[in-house]
Amino acid sequence: MVTQKLVISETQIQECVSRLASLISADYKDQPLLVVGALNGSFIFLSDLIRSMELPIQVDFIRLSSYDESTQSSGSVRLHHGVRTPVKGKNVLVVEDIVDTGFTAEFIRHYFEEQGAASVRICSLLDKPIRRLTSVTVDYVGFEVPDQFLVGYGLDYNQQFRELRALYTLEGVPQNP
């Protein structure tokens, strides 16, 4: 039987979103910004974040995968859908749900640099530095979390639990189904 254990509450998440939006708004001060969500996990965080920013923004999405149906990263990043918005000369803020090994964030940063972005920064709701296997910089971090598999607020396990308003660990889930 799968049970959920609360790790980060809805209130804590919303306070974090406000803090990050303020920092980003101050850093870009009325500069146009292309905000790119890494699908699927970031869409709820991105939605709340951009509504709290006070900037002229465009929004686009990129779809990558490294997890499939497992709770462990495969280590191989696959691009399924790139952005449609022209990137050259723009400030790009990539919004991630979580950075752990760093492979996906590193891939995304290089992807936008190769397209000629003026700047590329990464904002992640969650950061698991203990799992880092590459030296990628996360410019804006919501919460640093221990090495636990989390669901809720857009994060899933096998395409379930994204709708939860807070973040939870799951107990009773096989580590490598």
pLDDT 10s digits, 70-127: 445 556 777 878 899 999 999 999 999 999 999 999 999 999 999 999 999 999 999 9
Q: Is 100 a catalytic residue?
A: yes
Among 48, 68, 97, 100, the one annotated catalytic: 100
pLDDT at site 94 = 97
CB atoms within 10 A of CB 52: 16
83, 58 Cβ separation under 8 angstroms: no
> For residues 150 and 166, what is the distance between their CA atoms, to the nearest angstrom?
10
Q: Would you put residue 56 in left (φ > 0), alpha (ψ -120 to 50) or beta?
A: beta
Structural domains of the chain sorted by starting position, each given as residue range(s) with its CATH number in brackets: 3-63+80-171 (3.40.50.2020)
Q: Which two tokens stand for residue 66?
A: 């490294």
CA distance 33 to 24: 10
pLDDT at position 77, please?
Answer: 76
| Number of H-type helices and E-type strands within the chain | 3, 9
